[in-house]
């Protein structure tokens, strides 16, 4: 566990996974099919984590492929706008395309349409991950979407091996998206394997239940992983989170807000959690700061643009009496 904390405290992360373009109906409250205008910004779970980390004063580099077209260049430019290191982006020609997400800023009957046909981020190869200088970083982060298809599945497991050789801990956000996978069985097997090879695992109760083969078995699965020496954060939505580390279980609440959308919370939680640990804060406080980041993001349009800076996070916390009781 100390190696995990030491790695995070460098504040410098190699992040594997996808970048994408988000298009969200404007103004907030407009249904996508009725919109006359949309705002565009950076999206994609791993890219969001990168942006969130940088806005909180950390360093991140995204390792992925982007399409050689206007949308790929848009995403590359937005990554640089947020301060993300793009030296490990591979620009790929051909028919593969970067992801597009179309959604709206409203909770009731929320709609999210994802275009991931022939997704370019699945084209990351072992050669791509081998050219990363792992010694430059303190930890590796990945979201589970990278494991949904080849060659990115095998290449990311290769990145895990490279990280181990370089002494880097592995941080895994389960991030299960059924539409990306060929079958639920394959997803369960592969995500379980990834969890077993990770040092910190973050997921919600449904994702752990999915890995365990039943929604009622999720907490047992989380405890089993923690018993093997891993840090596990088991998120339970409005009921808060349970952090399992070093034989302890820490319950934390959430910061209620008026949400305008449900997406982006998990990415912001990860960024807030890791930034707080990197700052040397106690684990319980770090989880609460991650929860506050999640609340901030769901209360605003967009994902990457809604990620808070440190000053914005501190101001949010100062304006609240505290988290919900658990």
How does pLDDT run across 204-261, given as a tens digit for each residue? 999 999 888 888 899 999 999 999 999 999 999 989 999 999 999 999 999 999 999 9
Question: How many C-beta atoms surround the C-beta of residue 190 within 10 A?
Answer: 17
Instruction: Write down the pLDDT at residue 179.
Output: 86
Statement: residue 77 has pLDDT above 80: yes
Statement: residue 6 has pLDDT above 90: yes
Statement: residue 33 has pLDDT above 90: yes
Rounded mean pLDDT, 171-175: 96
Statement: residue 13 has pLDDT above 80: yes
Instruction: Write down the pLDDT at residue 173.
Output: 97
Statement: residue 154 has pLDDT above 90: yes
Question: What mean pLDDT is reported for the chain?
Answer: 96
Q: CATH fold of 2-318, please?
A: 3.40.1190
> Is the previous residue joined to 151 through a cis bond, with omega within 30 degrees of 0?
yes
Rounded mean pLDDT, 288-299: 97
Rounded mean pLDDT, 303-321: 97
Does the pTM surpass 0.85? The reply is yes
For residue 235, the number of C-alpha atoms closer than 13 Å in the C-beta half-sphere is: 22
Tell me if 305 sits within 8 A of 41, measured CB to CB.
Answer: yes
Statement: residue 326 has pLDDT above 80: no
What are the sequence ranges of the domains in the chain? 2-318
Question: How many C-beta atoms surround the C-beta of residue 47 within 10 A?
Answer: 32
Statement: residue 8 has pLDDT above 80: yes
Instruction: Write down the pLDDT at residue 80.
Output: 98
Q: How far does CA 244 lie from the centroid of its chain?
A: 19
Statement: residue 120 has pLDDT above 80: yes
Token pair recorded at residue 87: 């030296």
Terminal C-alpha separation, the chain = 26
- Per-residue confidence band for 88, with pLDDT thresholds at 50, 70 and 90: very high
**Which residue carries 């989380």 as its tokens?**
222
């Amino acid at each position: 566990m100390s190696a995990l904390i030491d790695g995070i405290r460098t504040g410098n992360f190699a992040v594997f996974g996808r970048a994408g373009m988000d298009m969200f109906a404007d103004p907030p409250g407009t249904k996508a099919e009725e919109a006359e205008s949309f705002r565009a910004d950076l999206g994609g779970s791993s890219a969001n984590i990168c942006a969130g980390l940088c806005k909180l004063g950390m360093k991140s580099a995204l390792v992925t492929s982007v399409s050689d077209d206007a949308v790929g260049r848009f995403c590359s430019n937005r990554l640089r706008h947020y301060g993300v290191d793009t030296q490990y982006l591979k620009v790929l020609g051909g028919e593969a395309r970067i992801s597009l997400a179309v959604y709206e800023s409203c909770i009731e009957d929320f709609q999210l349409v994802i275009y991931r046909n022939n997704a370019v981020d699945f084209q990351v190869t072992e050669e791509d991950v081998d050219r990363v200088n792992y010694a430059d970083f303190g930890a590796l982060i990945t979201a589970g979407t990278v494991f949904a298809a080849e060659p990115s599945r095998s290449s990311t497991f290769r990145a895990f091996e490279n990280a181990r050789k370089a002494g880097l801990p592995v941080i895994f956000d389960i991030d299960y998206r059924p539409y990306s996978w060929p079958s639920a069985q394959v997803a369960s097997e592969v995500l379980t394997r990834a969890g077993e090879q990770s040092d910190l695992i973050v997921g919600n109760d449904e994702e752990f239940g999915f890995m365990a083969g039943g929604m009622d078995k999720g907490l047992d699965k989380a405890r089993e992983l923690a018993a093997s020496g891993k840090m596990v954060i088991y998120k339970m939505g409005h009921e808060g989170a349970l952090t399992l580390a070093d034989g302890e279980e820490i319950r934390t609440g959430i910061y209620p807000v008026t949400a305008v959308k449900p997406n982006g919370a998990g990415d912001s939680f990860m960024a807030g959690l890791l930034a707080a640990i990197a700052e040397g804060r106690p684990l319980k406080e770090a989880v609460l700061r991650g929860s506050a980041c999640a609340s901030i993001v769901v209360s605003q349009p967009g994902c990457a643009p809604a990620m808070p800076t440190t000053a914005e996070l501190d101001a949010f916390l100062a304006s609240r009496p505290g988290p919900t009781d658990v």
